[in-house]
Each structure stands twice: as structure tokens, then as C-alpha cells.
Amino acid sequence: MKFAKKKTAILALTLVLCIGIASAALLDYYGRIVTTVNVNQAIYLDGKPYYEDIIEDFNGTEIMPSTIIFTLHYLENQAQNPITMQFNYIITNSTGHEDHKGITVTYLEDSKPYSFVKDYATERGTLHVAVEDTGDGWLQWTYTYADNPTHTPKMTVAINYPHGFCITTFDDGSHDGWYYAPDVGTTVRFADYSGGTYEDWVKTSVSGENGNVLSVAIKKTRLPNEFLWHGYANYNGIPVWIEIDENYLPIGHATIREPISSPFTLAPGERLDFYIRYEFDEALEPGEYTIITKVVTPATPPKYTTGLTVKFKIYDTATYALLDTGDVSPEFYVAGVDPIGTRTFATKPVAVAAYDSTLGAWTVSLDAGTYVVLIKKDTTVIYPEVFTVTVPGTNSEDKEVWLEPSTLNVYEKASVTITTALLAYNATSGAYDVSVSNMNTTLYDKWLVTLMFTVSGTDKIIKAGRIYQTKISGLVPEEYSLDGAVKTTVLEDTDASDDGVTGYYCEFEEWEGGEIHRLDLYFNDYGATGISGTITVKLFQYYECLNTNLRWWTDQTSTISVVN
Amino acid sequence: MDKRRVFQVVVAVLVIALVSIIAYAAIQYYGQITTTVPVEQAVWVDGKRYNEIIAETLSPTYGGCIVYANHTLENKGDTTAMVEFALINITDSHGNLVTDGSITVSWIVDGQKVDKTAILPHQTITFSIVIEFHYAIMPDTYTITTQVKPYVT
């Protein structure tokens, strides 16, 4: 028996060895090829790779508001296939924050080269007028006098009269080589009759055997995308108006650039010369702005954009807990709706979310897009909150997406106690040092009312709002100081239709639990007597929220008696 | 047992032993031939053996482009050889594996995209490794390792 076992073991070992030898004897592969390729990017901007930034600082020139600047660049497709791309840009201000107010950026390409040819017959000869794109960034007007001029030829080209500018090269003794900017009344003489240049964007010339060919060339980057033009010539003493109507208004119409559609496609080897057009609004806040343009691959649209299951969470910043109870009601409205900013709001939500304990998140069925979501809680704990949110599309077959942002923070309302102290103005000492319990307009003329607001509630807040004071005729609030910030202009709200309150007010920013804030109000009756009444100071918190159905709290008040 | 009986047993044993010895002495074979044959691999890539790496550097190209690397396969055997093409890996200049689909590799034989092909006995065919780069690929130097393998059904 023992011998039999030994035999079996030896046989098995032999078989294993045989198989091993057989395996090692067969080739895994006949050959291995290692291919190395240096790959460059497909699209080049200004001939540069992606990591080389193209910096434009406008030659260090300060840009004035109401200015339009063009810069010229090009894109080139080095690939063998058409490539689709688009422009994206971001503007940041000197603090580094995104700020698109007052600056408009557009991307343009040259239109079909502008061309104009026309002969103007006069009793003393024919004037030939031609406008052409020279192909190197200039638009050139040429006036050719057919005959030898007996008078010195004259030439004017006006762009967008009467608000644009005008170039004159003619000579009548005083008008040779002028640049006019009629809208600002600027006139600059830059050349004599022999021709010349103005800055780097106007060129004029006089040529021909007898000086009978005049030209004005204007750099295209100084011309609007689309403009009206007209001209004037003097043919041996006869005025010739070019492209002008009976009211002497221009009718020459040129389009030299047009917006580039987005996204756009470049064929293999194709080059696109394009302009970045920066328009600085006249109301632009002065400062240093950085505008970054990127040429990017358009995002591929997601497969599913409708009937999505949208998930999100609600976070209570005071309790550090996610809210999943039924007394929270997240309502979704179409974008642009403001459910809290008006006193009456009757629009129905497009959807209301419910908590899904299996998924551990709030869910709602929506299509991709932008929405406004209102979160309100039935219990008097948290402020109602609105968010503008985005529902993205998805390629996932389960069609589940997270809301952007995925977590919505809500804030609990803190409580506030108000204490009031009054000091009357002591004419003798020249200070507010008389402690009083009311404002007696017979005894005093000026008062300092100090209100202290003690905010309670850890991690709770009082949302930014207004502190209103009842207006009493004859008693003028001259100045106020909130937490040391002095304001000499006291604001007044005279319209109760929008917010339900009127009176003098000062604004306050968000307060947090544990803080104490001080408001000093300076009143003056300017010697008037017989004034009486009650000044009610109301802490009208969360001024953004005026919807009466959502203002579940009572605004704290404090009263000051005015007697005589 | 009597002596006679003992004798008979001893004789029987001796007879058996004798027969056995005679049987063992018969020849088992008339001759033995040891043959040694040097065997080369059947299919050669670019005229090289399997353990000779074929390294090539293609001309610089751009994202969005397709490049071709041409090679030969020679079947030195007497039977048709089936081979399959395999991509082993793609690495960038830092040795990181590229698996995001930004580079696709395929093979072309006789103008057809294939992943395996047959080579007739004593025939040489050409094939191309086709490397396609996504138009938005990060510029870099990429190394693509491929193999030509025996196709086993």
C-alpha cells in the first residue's frame, strides 16, 4: 500500500515537471515593438503651446472707461482631423475675485474683405473712389482724380459721423493732415499735404503724376465691427460728397468683423485669425482687471438631462447636523423666481423634495437646469433660505445626480435683547452727559440714544437687516454710529408697500450669537418745542426676506418717549 | 515435510529462477538514435527573434493626428501561422501608464483593421501599428509597447 502511494506521488511530480517544461518551451510572443512618439498639442494659439501664457498689457496704457480695444490673435489646427473648440473667459478684479461687471469680451473674425468702387462724375471730370481691405490689417480709401487737377485735390473720410472720427488729407491752406474726433471735439493735425501717419493707426499719402491720387488708410483694429462712412472731395473746385444722403448723413456701410459662433470648428491645417474685443463700460469701477481667455474643448453634452433623480443634503450650521426630518420643506422654483423677496408670493413650486432614508439624502425629480430652491422649516428655528442651484445632466444609467451645490446650509435664528440709554446734550459742558429717561423737547434740544443689542445663541445668527426708528416730525436724526462706524446721512424709508415698514433706518450686517452691537443715534429738534410721541426702534432682521408667510419671527422693538 | 517433497520444491524454485534469468537477458531494442535539432521561432518580426526588442522612434506629431509604424512578419515555417496583435501598455515620459483613452492603438494588414492574421508558410507580410492621439492630449513623449503573439484558439 505504501509503495503504491509512493508511485502515485512520483508519477504526479513527473507529470507536473513535464507540463512545466512544455509550457516554457512555447513562445508567448514572436516579437515586441516599442514605439516612441513625441506628441505636440493639436491646436496652437499664436503659435504657442498651452503652457506659454500670452500676456497683453496694452503696452502699459491706462484704459479709460467707455473704450473698446481689439487685439489680434490666431489659432491653428495642426491635427489631421477637424477640431471643435470654443472661447471661455474670466475677469478678475484687483482683489483676485471674479468680476464681470462693466467689461464685455467678444471674439470676432474678419468678414469677407470690404470692397467699394464707384465713380462720381462732375462737370470737370470723374472722381474714382475705391475702398479696399489691404489684407494686412488696414482699410484704405483711395480717391483718384481722372484729370490733372487744376486745384489741389482734397480728401476727407468720415467714420460714423457725427460721433466717430474723420481724417482729412486735403489742402486748402489749413486743413492738411487732420484727425477729427467730433464727439469729443478733438482735432489733431498730424501731417502736411505730402502725407503722413497719425499715431499707429492712420496713414495718408499723395501720389500720382500730378498728385492726383490721395489715400487714407485706417488700421482695422481702430474701426468698429460695423460702421457708416462717407467722404468728401473737391474736384477742381467742385465739392463731391461721397456716400451721403440728402440730409448729409452717411450711407456707406461696411462690416469688417463678425462674431465667431461658439463652438466653432477648424479644419485640418486651418488657421483662424481672430480678434478679442474688450469693451470697457463708462461706469466701470477704476482698478486693475485681469481678463483671461482660454480656448477649450467644448464639454460633451451629458446623455441624460431629463427625469433625473436629484440628491442633496441640508445642513444645520448651528447643530452641525444634517436635516432629514419631515418638517423641512425644500421647494424648487424656476430660475429667476424670488420666493422670499416680496411680501406676497403665490407662485407654485415646480417640485418639492422628500427625504429618502435609503439613499441618505433629499431627492427630487427634475430636469437638468438652474433652479431656485427655498428651504423653510415649519418650526420656528431656522431662517428660510433661498439658493440658486444647478441640476447637471449625467451619463449614468441610473439617472441620479447630485445637486450643485450638493449641501445646502441653513441657519438658526439667534435671539436678541435690546437695552436703551438716553443722554441729553448739556449746553454748558458741551457734551451729552445728562442722563434722562425720555426726550423732553422743552428741556433739551439734542440727545444721544444708545441701543445695545446682545445676541444670544451659539452658532446662531441674526441675518442682515435694518434698524428702523419711527419718524417724529420736528425731531431729526442727524447722525448714527453702528459699532463705531459713523454715518452722517440717515436713510429714510417712506414706502411701506414693499416691506411693511417706514421710518428712519440704518443697515446692519449679519450678527452672530455671542456678539454685542452698539447703535448711537443723535437726534436734534433744532430748538423746537411741543414735540411729543414715541420712537419705536425695530430690529427688522433679514431684510432680504420680506415674504410675510416666511417671516415667522417677531422683530424686537424698544421704545423711547418723546415728551414736552 | 519429507526430504523428497523438499527437493521437489527446491527444483521448482530453481527452474523458475532460471527461466526468469533467461527472459531478462533478451534484448530490448536493436539501436538508439539521439537527434539534435536547432529550432528557430516560426514567425519573425522585422527579421528579429522574440527576445530582440524592436525599438523605434516616430517623427513628432500633434494631438488629433494618427501615426503609422510599418513592420514585417515572416513565417519561416511549413504551416500557416496565426498571430494576434496585442497592446501591452502605453506610458508617458514619466513612466505613468496612460489608460484614459487618449491614445488608441490598432493594427492594419492589407488595408484592413485587424487584431489577428494568418501568415502562409514561407511568406512575409507587412503590417502597420496605427496610433491615434486624441486632439486634446497633453503634449508629451509617449511610448507604446505592442507584441505579436501566437494565436491560440
Task: Report yes or no on B26 lying in a domain.
Answer: no
Residue A9 pLDDT level (bands cut at 50, 70, 90) = low
So what's the pLDDT on residue A58?
73
Span A107-122, average pLDDT? 94
Whether A49 contacts chain B with CB within 8 A? yes
Whether B58 sits inside 8 A of A37 (CB atoms) is yes
Alpha-carbon distance A155 to A149, whole Å?
A: 13
Give chain B's end-to-end CA distance (angstroms, integer): 73
Contact between residue A105 and residue A277 where contact means Cβ atoms under 8 Å apart = yes
Helix (H) or strand (E) holding A11, with range, is helix A2-24
Interface test with B, best of A27, A30, A78, A265 (most B CBs within 10 A): A30
Model pLDDT for residues A517-553, shown as the tens digit of each residue: 999 999 999 988 889 999 999 999 999 999 999 999 9
In the predicted model, is pLDDT for residue A8 greater than 60? no
Over 60: is that where the pLDDT of A18 sits? no
Sort residue A378 into left (φ over 0), alpha (ψ -120 to 50) or beta. Answer: alpha
Mean pLDDT to the nearest integer, A151-180: 79
For residues A181 and A388, the model is more confident at A388
The answer to whether A21 touches B42, Cβ cutoff 8 Å, is: no
**Closest by alpha carbon to B46, among B148, B140, B150?**
B148
Backbone phi, then psi, for A357, in 5-degree steps?
-70, -25
Does residue B24 fall inside a structural domain?
no
The pLDDT of residue A173 is above 80: no
d(CA A309, CA A399): 6
Whether the per-residue pLDDT at A326 is higher than 50: the answer is: yes
Residue A95 pLDDT level (bands cut at 50, 70, 90): confident
- At B46, list the grid cell: 522585422
Q: What is the pLDDT of residue A527?
A: 85
Q: Say how far apart CA A386 and CA A545 lie, in whole Å.
A: 9
Asked whether the predicted pLDDT for residue A371 surpasses 80, the reply is yes
ipTM of the complex: 0.80
B136: chain A residues, CB-CB within 8 Å: 42, 297
Assign residue B93 the CATH number of its domain. 2.60.40
Domain A308-410 top-level CATH class? mainly beta
Maximum distance among all alpha carbons in chain A? 137
Q: How confident is the model at residue A97 (pLDDT cuts 50, 70, 90)?
A: confident
Evaluate if residue A351 carries a pLDDT over 90.
Answer: yes
Test mutation, A23, A27, A28, A29, chain B, max B CBs within 10 A: A29
Length of chain B: 153
Residue range A1-11: mean pLDDT, rounded: 50
pLDDT tens per residue, range A490-499: 899 999 999 9
User: CA neighbours within 13 Å on the CB side: how many for A32?
Assistant: 13
Look up residue A131 and give its three cell numbers.
475702398
C-alpha cell at A463: 441675518
Q: What is the DSSP letter of B97?
A: B
Q: Tell which wins on pLDDT, A485 or B10.
A: A485
Tens-level pLDDT at each residue, chain B (153 residues): 566 777 777 777 776 666 555 555 677 888 888 989 889 999 999 999 999 999 999 999 999 999 999 999 999 999 999 999 999 999 999 999 999 889 999 999 999 999 999 999 999 999 999 999 999 999 999 999 999 999 987
How far is the alpha carbon of A41 from chain B, nearest alpha carbon, in Å? 5
CATH architecture of A415-563: Sandwich (2.60)
All residues of chain A having their beta carbon less than 8 Å from the beta carbon of residue B61 are 37-40
Retrieve residue A343's grid coordinates. 411680501
Q: Is residue B32 part of a domain?
A: no
A247 touches B: beta carbon within 8 Å: no
Provide mean pLDDT across the span A395-399.
Answer: 92
Domain A43-109+265-296 in this protein, CATH class: mainly beta
* Mean pLDDT score, A455-480: 93
Per-residue pLDDT, A537: 94
As a whole number, the mean pLDDT across chain A is 88
Range of the domain at B47: 43-150
Residues of A in contact with B43 (CB under 8 A): 30-31
Q: Which residues of A touch B139 (CB under 8 A)?
A: 39-41, 49-50
Residue A128's contacts (CB-CB under 8 Å, 6 or more residues apart) are A117, A118, A119, A120, A142, A143, A144, A146
Distance to chain B for A27, nearest Cα, Å: 7
pLDDT tier, A394 (very low <50, low <70, confident <90, very high otherwise): very high
Q: Which one has a higher pLDDT value, B25 or A216?
A: A216
Round to whole Å and give the CA distance between B153 and B151. 6
Q: Are strands A476-482 and A154-159 parallel, antiparallel or unpaired?
A: unpaired
Each domain of chain A, given as residue ranges in start order, spans 43-109+265-296, 115-255, 308-410, 415-563
Is residue A244 predicted with pLDDT exceeding 90? Answer: yes
If one counts the domains in chain B, the total is 1
CA-CA distance, A413 to A411, in Å (whole number)? 6
The reply to whether omega before A330 is within 30° of 0 (cis) is no
pLDDT at res. B27: 75
Q: Is the pLDDT of residue A23 over 50?
A: no
Q: Is A25 on the interface with B (CB under 8 A)?
A: no
Question: Any residues with CB less than 8 A from the CB of B14 and at least 6 apart, and which?
Answer: none
B140 domain-assigned: yes
The predicted pLDDT at position A36 comes to 96
Contact between chains at B145 and A49 (C-beta distance less than 8 A): no
Q: From its phi and psi, is residue A162 left (phi > 0), alpha (psi between -120 and 50) or beta?
A: alpha
Q: Give the dihedral sign, CA A301/A303/A308/A314.
A: negative
- A43-59 pLDDT, tens per residue? 999 999 899 999 887 76
Bigger pLDDT: A67 vs A446: A446
Q: What is the CATH number of domain A115-255?
A: 2.60.40
Instruction: Answer whether residue B142 is part of any domain.
Output: yes
Residues 6+ apart with CB under 8 A from A390: A369, A370, A371, A403, A404
The band of A257, judged by pLDDT with boundaries at 50, 70 and 90, is very high
pLDDT-derived band at A25, boundaries 50, 70, 90: confident
Whether A368 and A335 have beta carbons less than 8 Å apart is answered as no
pLDDT band at residue A2 under the 50/70/90 scheme: very low
CB-based contacts of A440, cutoff 8 Å, min separation 6? A424, A563, A564
Look at residue B14 in the predicted model and tell me its pLDDT. 76
Look at A30 and B141 and tell me if their CB atoms are within 8 Å.
Answer: no
Asked whether the beta carbons of residue A33 and residue B147 sit closer than 8 angstroms, the reply is yes
d(Cα A546, Cα A501) in Å, to the nearest integer?
10
